[in-house]
């Protein structure tokens, strides 16, 4: 499979497609970081995968678990989409 091109990608909407797109985005993001820092690329990845949960009592906001640092410290953060169209 060619990650940076569009030929040979899995079927759009499939789990494999989104895995390939996340990998492609990671490569592109690494290139931008390397270009801006003049250093070797920083490894970027998802830790422990991605999970989606329906949380009934948290209102009309999106939330995400974010881990920062080494050793990591986890935070539950509210994500502001900038939209009032929920």
Closest to 19 (Cα-Cα) out of 41, 3, 43 = 3
Report the Cα–Cα distance between both ends of the chain, in Å, rounded: 36
Does 24 reside within a domain? Answer: yes
> How far is CA 58 from its chain centroid?
22
Does 85 reside within a domain? Answer: no
Indicate the pLDDT class of residue 27, thresholds 50, 70 and 90: confident
Residue 53 gets which letter from DSSP? -
Does 64 reside within a domain? Answer: yes
What is the model's pLDDT at position 66? 82
What percent of the chain is predicted at pLDDT more than 90?
Answer: 0
The count of domains in the chain is 1
pTM of the model: 0.34
Res 1 pLDDT > 50: no
Does 27 reside within a domain? Answer: yes
Domain that holds residue 62: 15-79
Does 8 reside within a domain? Answer: no
| Percent helix, strand and coil across the chain, each to the nearest 5 | 25, 15, 55
Does 86 reside within a domain? Answer: no
Report in angstroms the alpha-carbon separations of 63 from 16, 37, 44, 48: 24, 30, 21, 17
What percent of the chain is predicted at pLDDT more than 70?
Answer: 47
Does 65 reside within a domain? Answer: yes
Does 2 reside within a domain? Answer: no
């Amino acid at each position: 499979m060619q990650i940076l091109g569009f030929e040979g990608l899995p079927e759009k909407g499939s789990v494999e497609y989104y895995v390939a797109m996340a990998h492609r985005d990671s490569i592109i993001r690494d290139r931008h970081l390397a270009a801006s820092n003049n250093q070797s690329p920083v490894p970027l990845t998802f830790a422990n995968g991605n999970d989606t949960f329906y949380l009934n009592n948290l209102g009309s906001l999106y939330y995400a678990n974010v881990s920062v640092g080494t050793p990591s410290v986890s935070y539950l953060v509210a994500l502001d989409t900038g939209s009032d169209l929920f």
